């Protein structure tokens, strides 16, 4: 069992580095291109990338603590309760921010698909700012609740911070995260079904050559939107919803989930952050075009022949 915990700790470190690099790259691409910075449709994605990037970087001390405290004999693993909970705070904060932003992105897209005219004229900045404030406020409440409801007792043999939290907080977090993720999954499913319906309608609109051209352009947009939505659905379902359900059911049936499974919530969050960045980089048309431009510039530089010194005659 101890080698399983060691594997998870190493996996956490690898995922943290990958998430930091991927999200940092996406943020760098957006920050250095004015057209992307002015695209308010990317602001929620930027907020999610920032949250994932901060989680990956601030969780490094927690991972170092887990690795340094690992013992081959599981019974000898004994982390200091106050230290491990403080270093694990980024996970507690990020899971709520991530959940709220995921719901906000799904609802925003549903609004755009069902009411496109109203969506274009509305002030998106207020919605985006409100979503970020709700996520940060709720995350702050969770962090405060955690630190004020914990007795900071020792838990030998446990290789995850979840063991050190008290039952009231575990019940609250498991239930609230599970409910928010279910809302996100339902909203994303509704959006996916609507996009498929619209894609079928556009595909059948072939009355004239002009209509076909428009349909081809719209079909590409819907295809990319379908990919992003389906990817978010799969990523949220596997990486965030399943760990939340597992944690919540563990508390309901009084199962030692964290003691047996280790830091699975942190693994899910870091994996979600890495995959989200890859999805946005590959499927978001504006970001993808910029990345392709950067690749062409890099390839062009490589094709420039090296300078040489002409021979003397």
Domains, the chain, ranges and CATH? Answer: 2-284 (1.20.1070.10)
Instruction: Please give the pLDDT value at position 259.
Output: 57
Instruction: Please give the pLDDT value at position 208.
Output: 46
3-class DSSP state of 41:
helix
**Cα separation values, 149 from 2, 142, 156, Å:** 29, 10, 20
Distance between CA 173 and CA 54 in Å, rounded?
A: 21
Instruction: Please give the pLDDT value at position 190.
Output: 86
Alpha helices in the chain (DSSP H): 2-31, 34-37, 43-58, 60-68, 81-87, 89-114, 116-121, 124-149, 167-204, 209-235, 242-252, 257-261, 264-283, 285-303
Instruction: Please give the pLDDT value at position 3.
Output: 81
Q: Under a CB-based contact definition with an 8 Å cutoff, are residues 86 and 166 in contact? A: no
Tens of each residue's pLDDT in the chain, 313 residues: 678 888 988 999 999 999 999 999 999 988 888 888 887 777 888 898 999 999 999 999 999 999 999 888 877 888 999 999 999 999 999 889 988 988 888 888 888 888 888 887 877 888 999 999 999 999 999 999 999 999 888 888 888 888 888 888 988 887 888 788 788 878 878 877 887 777 676 666 544 444 444 445 555 655 666 667 667 777 877 887 777 777 766 666 666 655 556 678 888 889 999 998 888 887 777 777 777 777 777 665 555 554 444 444 4
Full-model pTM: 0.82
Instruction: Report the alpha-carbon angle 126-127-130, nearest 5.
Output: 80
3-class DSSP state of 239:
helix
Instruction: Please give the pLDDT value at position 305.
Output: 53
Instruction: Report the alpha-carbon angle 74-76-82, nearest 5.
Output: 105
Q: Under a CB-based contact definition with an 8 Å cutoff, are residues 185 and 241 in contact? A: yes
Using the structure block, give the residue that is written with the tokens 């499927």.
283
Instruction: Please give the pLDDT value at position 138.
Output: 95
Instruction: Report the alpha-carbon angle 132-234-102, nearest 5.
Output: 10
Instruction: Please give the pLDDT value at position 309.
Output: 47
Q: Under a CB-based contact definition with an 8 Å cutoff, are residues 78 and 45 in contact? A: no
Instruction: Please give the pLDDT value at position 261.
Output: 62
Instruction: Please give the pLDDT value at position 4.
Output: 82
Instruction: Please give the pLDDT value at position 82.
Output: 92
């Amino acid at each position: 069992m101890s080698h399983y915990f060691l594997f998870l700790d190493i996996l956490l470190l690898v995922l943290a580095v990958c998430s930091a690099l991927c999200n940092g790259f996406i943020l760098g691409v957006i920050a250095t291109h004015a057209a992307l910075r002015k695209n308010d449709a990317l602001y929620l994605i930027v907020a999610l990338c920032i949250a994932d990037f901060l989680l990956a970087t601030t969780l490094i001390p927690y991972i170092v603590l887990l690795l340094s405290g690992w013992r081959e004999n599981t019974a000898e693993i004994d982390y200091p309760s106050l230290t491990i909970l403080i270093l694990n705070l980024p996970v507690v904060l990020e899971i709520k921010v991530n959940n709220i932003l995921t719901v906000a992105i799904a609802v925003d897209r549903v609004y755009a698909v069902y009411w496109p005219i109203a969506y274009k004229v509305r002030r998106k900045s207020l919605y985006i700012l409100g979503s970020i404030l709700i996520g940060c406020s709720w995350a702050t409440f969770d962090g405060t609740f955690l630190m004020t409801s914990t007795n900071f007792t020792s838990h030998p043999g446990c290789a995850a911070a979840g063991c050190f939290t008290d039952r009231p907080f575990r019940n609250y977090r498991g239930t609230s995260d599970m409910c928010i993720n279910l809302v996100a999954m339902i909203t994303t499913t509704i959006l996916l079904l609507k996009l498929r319906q619209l894609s079928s309608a556009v595909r059948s609109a072939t009355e004239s050559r002009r209509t076909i051209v428009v349909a081809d352009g719209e079909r590409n947009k819907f295809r990319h939107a379908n990919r992003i939505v389906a990817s978010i659905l799969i990523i949220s379902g596997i990486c965030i919803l399943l760990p939340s359900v597992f944690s919540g059911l563990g508390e309901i049936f009084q199962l030692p989930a964290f003691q047996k499974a280790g830091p699975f919530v942190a693994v899910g969050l870091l994996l979600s952050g890495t995959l989200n960045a890859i999805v946005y980089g590959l499927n978001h048309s504006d970001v993808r075009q910029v990345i392709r431009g950067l690749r062409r510039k890099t390839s062009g530089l490589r094709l420039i022949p090296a300078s040489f010194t002409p021979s003397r005659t």
